[in-house]
Amino acid sequence: MASCSRVSRFILMLLLEIADLILDWDFYVEVSQTDLVGDKVRDSILGFAIFGSILFLCTIITKFIGICDSDDDDQKEENGTCAVTLSFMSTLLEDLPQIILALIVAFNTKDLISPVQIVKACYGIAEPIIQLILYACQYRRMKKNSNGCGMVCKIFEMLFGCILIICSIILLIKLVSDP
């Protein structure tokens, strides 16, 4: 049976990922309704939104399987190779490129600044902070269990999370400083 902490972490992760998915697609819809953004940037935003959707489904399935696992190891689903790899891929190959594309749009089109971009920038700060706290706890537990590969992935994921926060802060400053 899944413990309360497992279910709580799953629900928190699910809510964060759903919010991220909604913001990614809303950003694409907004960008696609204007001619202020070039086709390459627009197509890139679409590609990363699709890739993020696929990663979302894979992550949810992996976490759900882990949470339903009857094993007593409360950390098994978050320390497993598949879960760690998907989480790392999501940060490096989806979240970071999305925020860089948002920066490109913000710096190249002053007329396209919208509440969606501001919320995306705020979310790009808040989500990695929450994840950094969770990753630090996971890293500490991994250190006790000697999960070398998982520990390395978590360190890199924390590093890329910090880069994501910095990019999001730059984006937020850019968005609120332009009239």
Q: What is the pLDDT of residues 63-122, one digit of tens each?
A: 777 666 645 454 454 556 677 778 788 888 898 999 999 999 988 887 766 788 888 899
Residue 26 has pLDDT above 90, yes or no: yes
Residue with tokens 């696992």: 69
Alpha helix ranges (H) inside 1-114: 4-32, 39-68, 76-79, 81-90, 96-108
Residue 139 has pLDDT above 70, yes or no: no
SS3 156: helix
**What is the arithmetic mean of pLDDT over 152-178?**
88
Q: Which of 135, 114, 132, 134 is nearest to 124 (CA)?
A: 132
Top pLDDT among 6 and 126 is at 126
Looking at every residue in the chain, the average pLDDT score rounds to 81
Top pLDDT among 174 and 135 is at 174
Other CB atoms within a 10 A radius of the CB of residue 90 amount to 21
Per the structure, the count of domains in the chain is 1
Residue 48 has pLDDT above 90, yes or no: yes
Distance (Å, rounded) from C-alpha 3 to C-alpha 150? 22
pLDDT at 77: 47
Q: How confident is the model at residue 1 (pLDDT cuts 50, 70, 90)?
A: very low
Q: How confident is the model at residue 36 (pLDDT cuts 50, 70, 90)?
A: confident
Domain of 148? Answer: 4-177
Residue with tokens 């089109």: 109
**What is the arithmetic mean of pLDDT over 52-71?**
78
Residue 169 has pLDDT above 60, yes or no: yes
Q: Are 11 and 64 in contact (CB under 8 A)?
A: no
Nearest 10 degrees: CA dihedral of 162, 167, 168, 171?
170
SS3 34: coil
pTM of the model: 0.82
Separation in Å, CA 106 to CA 113, 116, 128, 136, 176: 7, 12, 21, 32, 10
Q: Are 161 and 99 in contact (CB under 8 A)?
A: no
